Amino acid sequence: MKILDYTFYKRSTVLAAKGLLGKLLFHKTKEGMASGIIIETEAYLGENDPASHAARKKTPRNSAMFEYPGISYVYFIYGNHYCFNVVAHNGGAGAVLIRALEPYEGIELMRKRRAKNNLKELANGPGKLTQALKIEREHNKLSLIESNLRIYDLGIKIKEEEILKTSRIGIKAGKELPYRFFLKDNPYVSKK
């Protein structure tokens, strides 16, 4: 089991979004560790993607998307929730939104944080998985290679035909772009 290195993130955002399926998102805190297998992602590109925070100018909020690949981009949304993204691009800007996890380790801790018992309800949505893994504002712009927030390669091989693609969820502009990717028949996807 090895940590993904910079070369994984320094390539097209769409390829990284597909490549992250089957990888393990891991977070260690004082409470303990928790992790889950990434089973649903969305790609958000730079200036030519109207749905992306990076479609406009660099600001304090979206600045992570313009920085070097392999760091986190965490933002607060709807007054209630955090969303976790992985910065991945080949120059310019871009990030991959992690939309759902299959719980792997630290399941009791996730149950406690989520106040839910059902395994399927622990991390089957972008706001849910940040709550389950305790990813918050302070975890913005962390190195996913050198911090306690990491992504591992478990050696799971995903075949092209196991990846389904649709338009992205919850956006207004850019609905025609097929940048949402998830694993076929996986019971932990956020929406059908």
Partner DNA sequence: TGCCTGATCGGCT
Partner DNA sequence: GCCGATCAGGCAC
Kindly list the residues in this chain that would bind DNA in the complex (CB under 7 A).
42, 44, 51-54, 56-57, 59-62, 65, 73, 76-81, 83, 85, 95, 97, 114, 116, 121, 125-128, 131, 168-172, 190
CA–CA gap between residue 71 and residue 83 (Å, rounded)? 14
Burial class from Cβ neighbours inside 10 Å (0-12, 13-18, 19+) for residue 85 reads: buried
Rank residues 2 and 192 by Cβ distance to DNA and give the closer one: 192
Rank residues 1 and 103 by Cβ distance to DNA and give the closer one: 103
CB of 22 to DNA, least distance (A): 20
CB of 1 to DNA, least distance (A): 26
CB atoms within 10 A of CB 40: 29
Contact yes or no for 10/69 (Cβ under 8 A): yes
CB of 100 to DNA, least distance (A): 8
Element (H, E) at 99: strand 95-105
CA–CA gap between residue 114 and residue 123 (Å, rounded)? 9
Rank residues 56 and 160 by Cβ distance to DNA and give the closer one: 56
CB of 57 to DNA, least distance (A): 6
CB atoms within 10 A of CB 93: 23
Rank residues 4 and 122 by Cβ distance to DNA and give the closer one: 122
